[in-house]
Amino acid sequence: MILMPTPKDAVTIVLPTLNEELAIGQVIKELKQMGYRHILVVDGYSTDRTTKVAKSNGCQVLYQHSQGKSGAIETAIEHVKTPYLLVMDGDCTYDPKDIESFLAHADKYDQIIGVRANGRKNIPRLNRFGNFLITKTFNLLMGTKLRDVCSGMYLVNTAAARQLELNANGFDVEVEIAAQTATKGRVTEVPIVYKKRVGQQKLKSWKHGFQIILSVFRLARTYNPALLFSGLVALAIVPASFILGWVALEVLLHGIWHSGYALTGLMLLVLASQGLTVATISLLLRRMERRIVRQTRRK
């Protein structure tokens, strides 16, 4: 049994929906059976009976402004009155029983992300690879150690949520929220179950995956530019290695010394080493900043 210092009435469950008629009723019933009274459905103008089913189950329904899933999150943040909000998809992929794991740590963090550790077989292989690539890129550019930045189930402190500046317009809203909370506050993770989806999948693997990875670079440019640009400069080591390797082979095989190419290779190597140095310092300063923030909050 998980001890929950945060009561269930302190959290609003936010369900972004778009044509989830087949699943939304079951999700709401399971949440109510678990004792969650504050449930908010934010609909993206479904063309099926999603909103009617939600209302018939006694659930508050709002129509979102702005586009995509990010518009639903923005709309929810404006209306939530509880200290915390928990976002989960309305397609039966997430288990309401896992919410207790979030509430057990809610008072200590600005965001808690649910890591889809159990049930990954229900995620298509291409999506799993895309999530892996996106998460690794996010961690590299943001200096974090997260495991599932694309998870659709996460809890956010409402006060922290109202400080977010969301510019995403689709499924990249998760990485944008994670980037901002990791930069300004404290983020942790808990393991959750991921079940088989009910209804039609909205995410298109190639299209949205490419959009999300571009968003990660955009977020790094905004919230960790020193690490991003110095890391890009450090990539100069690749052409430097090719050029210097070719010059060395020419000397060994033909006895010809290409001074111009050698000088170019050395200049690129120096540039790469400087970029790597700045990137390392940036990463160390970011970690130091987070330690200072944690110690300040404890006081």
Both tokens of 18, joined, read 């778009």
pLDDT at 2: 61
Is the CA virtual torsion 127, 158, 73, 185 positive or negative? Answer: negative
What are the tens digits of pLDDT across the range 14-39? 999 999 999 999 999 999 999 999 99
3-state secondary structure of 130: helix
Which CATH number describes the domain made up of 8-223? 3.90.550.10
pLDDT at 291: 67
pTM, entire model = 0.81
Q: How far apart are CA 21 and CA 46, in angstroms?
A: 9
pLDDT at 292: 66
C-beta of residue 129 within 8 angstroms of C-beta of residue 150: no
What residue type is assigned to position 98 of the chain? D
Using CA atoms, how far residue 185 sits from 229, 259, 277, 281, in Å, is 23, 52, 26, 21
Q: Which of 222, 239, 229 is nearest to 279 (CA)?
A: 229
Q: Supply the angle between the helices 173-184 and 68-79 in degrees, to the nearest 10.
A: 50
Report phi then psi at 142, rounded to 5. -105, -5
pLDDT at 124: 83
3-state secondary structure of 241: helix
Ranges under pLDDT 50 in the chain: none
pLDDT at 30: 97
Q: How far apart are CA 285 and CA 250, in angstroms?
A: 43
C-beta of residue 269 within 8 angstroms of C-beta of residue 237: yes
Q: Which of 9, 76, 82, 22 is nearest to 44 (CA)?
A: 76
Report domain extents, the chain: 8-223, 226-298
pLDDT at 275: 78
C-beta of residue 101 within 8 angstroms of C-beta of residue 2: yes
